[in-house]
Chain A
Amino acid sequence: MRILFSLIFLWVTTTAWAQIPTWKIVPDQSNIIFTATQNNAPISGKFNTFAGEIHFDANQLNESKAHIMVDISSINTSYQAIADTLKTADWFDVKNFPKAEFKTNKIAKLNSNKYQVDGSLTILNKSKPQSLSFELVENTKDKVKIQGNFSIKRTDFGIGKGEWSGTDEVADEVKVNFTFVLIPVALALS
C-alpha cells in the first residue's frame, strides 16, 4: 500500500513538475537595453547576445523559475568608442568576466498582468540580490512576451573602477529595460 502511495505521489509530483512549460528566448524579438547617465544626460546601449532557461506558468508561480545568461562582450552602443571602453578592465573587464547572469528565487503576482521577481544578479562575478518587475504582455501556450525593468547601482558590482568610480560624470544608477519573447522549447527545437 505504501509502495503504491509512494509511486502515485512520485507520479503526481513529476507530472506536475513536467507540466511547467520550458521556454526559450527568441533573440531577434527580444532585447536588453541599459540606460546610464553621463554628464547628467542619458546614454543607452544594449547587450546583443543573451539566453535563458525559463520554466514559467502564470498559474504555477511557485514552480516557475528562470536563469538568464548575458554575454557581456556583446555590449553595443551607437557610438562605438563607448562600447569599446565599456569592455575594458576598468569597466566590464570582458576578458575576465564575459558573462553576467540573473537567477530567480521567487516570482509573485502583483496584479492583473504585473509580476514581481526576487532573484540574484551576478556581474563581474559579484552576486547581489535583485528585484525586478515585469508585465506579461502576451501569454499563450505558444508565445509569452514579457517587458520589465530594474535598476542597479553600478558601483555595487564594481562596474567602473579607478577614475571611473566617482559618480559625477557617470552616475551610479543604471536602468535596465528588457523585452523577452519566449517560445516553448519543444517548438524551438522543431
Chain B
Amino acid sequence: MQIKNSTSHYGIISIFIHWIMALLMIGLIILGLYMVNLPINAQKLKLYGWHKELGILVIFLAIFRLFWRIIDTAPTLPAHMPWFQKFAAHAVHYAFYGFMFALPISGWMISSAAGLPVSFFGLFVLPDLVSTNEPLRLLLQEVHEWLGYGLILAIVGHMGAALYHHFVYKDDILRRILP
C-alpha cells in the first residue's frame, strides 16, 4: 500500500481522508437534519455542540485534503469514459470541495450571528466571523440548509456513479479508492 497516489490507484492518505470525511459529512447531515427539529432542550444543545465541533473538524481535514490534492497526483480516469462523464465527475468533485468549505463556514457564521461562538472540542473558541445579527442568522440558516441539500444530491450522484462504474462498466473506479 503506497502512501501517495499512482496514476492507477489512490494511496493510503487519500483513501483515509476520503472515507473519514465521507463518514463525517454523512454523519453531520443526519445529525443536522435531526437536531433542527428538536424543541429547545439540553439534548438539542448537546447535539448542536457536536455538530459544530465536527463541522470545524471537517474544515481542518478539508484544508489538509486540498493541500494533499494539489501536491499529489490524481489517478487518471478510465479511457472508456466519454468526455461528458469525465466533465461530470470533475464537476462533482469540485462541488464537493466547495461544500466541504462552504457548509462549515456558513455554519460557523450562523453561530457567530446568533452570539453562540464555536468551541473546538473545548480546546479553543473560534473567533466570530460576523457580529450578532438576527436577520443575517436567518439568512445563513437558509444558505446552510440548502447547501446541505446540495451536498446530499452530490453524494447520491457520486455514490450512484461509483456503483455504476463498479457493477455496470466493471472498471477499477471503486476499487482504487478502497485500501
A interface list, Cβ under 8 A from B: 38-44, 77-82, 85, 163-164, 166, 168-170
Task: Tell which of B45, B52, B53, B115 touches A44, judged by Cβ atoms closer than 8 Å.
Answer: B115
Q: Which residues of A contact B114 (CB under 8 A)?
A: 78-79
Given contacts A39-B48, A80-B134, A166-B42, 7 further A-B contacts (CB under 8 A): A38-B49, A39-B119, A41-B119, A42-B117, A42-B125, A78-B115, A85-B40
Task: Tell which of A78, A79, A80, A170 touches B45, judged by Cβ atoms closer than 8 Å.
Answer: A170
Distance of B128 from chain A, by nearest CB (Å): 10
Q: In the complex the two chains form, is B134's CB within 8 Å of A79's CB?
A: yes
Q: In the complex the two chains form, is A40's CB within 8 Å of B122's CB?
A: yes
Give the CA-CA distance A9 to B33 in the complex, in Å. 76
Q: In the complex the two chains form, is B115's CB within 8 Å of A40's CB?
A: no
Q: A42-B125, A78-B134 are in contact. Are A169 and B116 (CB under 8 A)?
A: no
Distance of B109 from chain A, by nearest CB (Å): 14
Q: Which residues of A contact B118 (CB under 8 A)?
A: 41
B interface list, Cβ under 8 A from A: 40-43, 45-46, 48-49, 52-53, 114-119, 121-122, 125, 132, 134, 137
Q: Which residues of B contact A43 (CB under 8 A)?
A: 115-117
Q: In the complex the two chains form, is B115's CB within 8 Å of A169's CB?
A: no
Q: Which residues of B contact A80 (CB under 8 A)?
A: 134
Identity of the chain A residue whose Cβ is nearest the Cβ of B42 in the assembled complex:
A163
Q: Which residues of A contact B132 (CB under 8 A)?
A: 78-79
Q: Which residues of A contact B48 (CB under 8 A)?
A: 39
Identity of the chain B residue whose Cβ is nearest the Cβ of A170 in the assembled complex:
B45
Q: In the complex the two chains form, is A38's CB within 8 Å of B45's CB?
A: yes
Q: Which residues of A contact B119 (CB under 8 A)?
A: 39-41
Distance of B39 from chain A, by nearest CB (Å): 10
8 A-B pairs whose Cβ atoms sit less than 8 Å apart in the complex: A39-B52, A43-B115, A77-B115, A78-B114, A78-B132, A79-B116, A81-B40, A169-B45
Q: Which residues of B contact A164 (CB under 8 A)?
A: 42
Q: In the complex the two chains form, is A79's CB within 8 Å of B137's CB?
A: yes
Distance of A156 from chain B, by nearest CB (Å): 19
Q: In the complex the two chains form, is B117's CB within 8 Å of A41's CB?
A: yes
Q: In the complex the two chains form, is A163's CB within 8 Å of B41's CB?
A: yes
Q: Which residues of B contact A166 (CB under 8 A)?
A: 42
Task: Tell which of A40, A78, A79 touches B125, judged by Cβ atoms closer than 8 Å.
Answer: A40
Q: Which residues of B contact A85 (CB under 8 A)?
A: 40
Identity of the chain A residue whose Cβ is nearest the Cβ of B53 in the assembled complex:
A39
